[in-house]
Amino acid sequence: MATAARKSKKSQQSERPSDSLTDDQLLQLYKSMVLGRKVDERSWVMNRQGRAPFHISGIGHEAIQVAAAATLRPGYDWFYPYYRDLAFVLAMGMKPVDHMRGMLGKAGDPSSDGIQMPSHYSNAKLRIGSISSPVGTQVPIAAGTALASKLKGTDEVTVVCLGEGSTSQGDFHEGLNWAGVHKLPFICIVQNNQYAISVPMEKEMAVKNVADRAIAYGVRGVVVDGNDVLASYDVMYEAVQRARNGEGATLVEAKTYRVTPHSSDDDDRTYRSREEVEKWKKRDPIMLFEKVLFERGILTDELKQEITDWAVQEVDMAEEAAINSPYPDVSEMTKHLYGPMPNWEEA
Ligand SMILES: Cc1ncc(C[n+]2csc(CCOP(=O)(O)OP(=O)(O)O)c2C)c(N)n1
Ligand SMILES: [Mg+2]
């Protein structure tokens, strides 16, 4: 694929970390967002065709996710995602086919070999930790991982994601408190999409910003526009630097919006207006970034089409490979969950 080679136009005084990104790096961010979106859109199609039982979408969350991934070292840093982190896990090295196999419950899905619910990502090789369906439970586990890295004397960073509604869970407070007490190399990204299923933000908490709570744990709190990929990169870059340098944890609140229903089983018309959703579609993170790339002369109509075609082809190949993959053998049903099945006949 053709990519522009020259360096980005910089402002007179380069103050933001994102000012140092080359045109190729900016295009890489854009490609990651487009790939995440295309895999996600296809997942909806597969669900509506009746081939995939369930989908939970990250559409609209791509900017914070790919920006965060770009500041990390995949396979070295530790990552505890949540179910909307499709673009994030792809940017960390998972493949579209991994997600598709999970969607169809097929063998070869690295998260669980087709046993877990879809979008419950994990990948041992990439140091992507397993998450459970009870929301927020990954936060204290991630804090424990960060403590282990600190005790080992490494400069590994641990990142954990969750939604703003899940910050009402005790696990979130316990994890953040621990990260503050031990000054851990830990970054908690709250993807605040303003709803916890049908419950709007103002009924979830009495504070305006989740990040305002950071002071109570003795960690740094930052609010960022999670639909702005470059602003998200700047905030994450600084958080990662601080973590690697032993300066402690950061709570990043990325304000965004879920433009799709909560999941394929939800009808969001029952709790929010179409006008509100349409308003947010005009702040689509991919559209916003395209505008920047066009203005800087990095993206052209031709290159945009080329990137779209590339992403669609990747998705086509992943879907086909997943469809052609076998189901796990029934004997695998309890793998990773329990000890070996007893041999009842001998018992
Ligand atoms: C402990 C627990 N309570 C309730 C649920 C049901 N549930 C699944 S997702 C969700 C909403 C979470 O909202 P938020 O944290 O804002 O994340 P979002 O889905 O908006 O990205 C709820 C209540 C759950 N999975 N776990
Ligand atoms: Mg939410």
Angle at the Cα of 236 from the Cα atoms of 124 and 246, rounded to 5 degrees: 80
- CA neighbor of 96 nearest in space, from 63, 129, 121: 121
Cα of 197 vs centre of ligand 1, distance in Å, is: 7
Residues contacting 312, CB < 8 A, separation 6+: 38
The half-sphere exposure of 190 on its side-chain side, counting CA atoms within 13 A, is 30
pLDDT for 1 equals 38
Question: Which atom of ligand 1 is closest in space to residue 197's alpha carbon?
Answer: 11
Catalytic hit among 16, 271, 272, 283:
271
Asked if 270 contacts 50 with a C-beta cutoff of 8 angstroms, the reply is no
Pocket test of ligand 1: the residue of 137, 166, 253 to mutate, having most ligand atoms within 8 Å of its CB, is 166
Give the residue extent of every domain in the chain. Answer: 18-261+271-324
Question: Which atom of ligand 1 is closest in space to residue 135's alpha carbon?
Answer: 26
Q: Rounded CA gap, 18 and 10, in Å?
A: 10
Fold held by 18-261+271-324: Rossmann fold (3.40.50)
Residue with CA nearest ligand 1 atom 25: 134
Question: Which atom of ligand 1 is closest in space to residue 82's alpha carbon?
Answer: 21
pLDDT for 104 equals 97
Residue with CA nearest ligand 1 atom 26: 134
Asked whether the CA dihedral 269, 275, 278, 280 is positive or negative, the reply is: negative
Beta bridge partners of 160: 80, 188
| 11 within ligand 1 shell (Cβ under 6 A) | no
Cα of 61 vs centre of ligand 2, distance in Å, is: 11
In the annotation, is 242 catalytic?
no
The DSSP annotation for 323-335 comes to HTSPPPPGGGTTT
Q: Rounded CA gap, 326 and 106, in Å?
A: 6
Q: Rounded CA gap, 194 and 191, in Å?
A: 9
**CA-atom Rg of the chain in angstroms:** 20
Cα of 14 vs centre of ligand 2, distance in Å, is: 34
pLDDT for 229 equals 98
In the annotation, is 182 catalytic?
no
pLDDT for 12 equals 52
Cα of 117 vs centre of ligand 1, distance in Å, is: 15
pLDDT for 7 equals 44
pLDDT for 340 equals 72
- CA neighbor of 66 nearest in space, from 30, 110, 41: 30
Q: Rounded CA gap, 145 and 76, in Å?
A: 12
Q: Which residues of the chain, if any, have pLDDT below 50?
A: 1-11
Catalytic hit among 37, 61, 101, 262:
262
pLDDT for 263 equals 98
| 12 within ligand 1 shell (Cβ under 6 A) | no
- Residue 200's SS3 state is strand
Angle at the Cα of 285 from the Cα atoms of 103 and 282, rounded to 5 degrees: 110
| 137 within ligand 1 shell (Cβ under 6 A) | no
Q: How many residues does the chain have?
A: 347
Residues contacting 292, CB < 8 A, separation 6+: 230
Cα of 196 vs centre of ligand 2, distance in Å, is: 4
Residue 9 main-chain phi, psi, to 5 deg: -65, 130
pLDDT for 316 equals 98
The DSSP annotation for 99-135 comes to HHHHHHT-TT-TTTTT-SPTT---BTTTTB----SST
In the annotation, is 271 catalytic?
yes
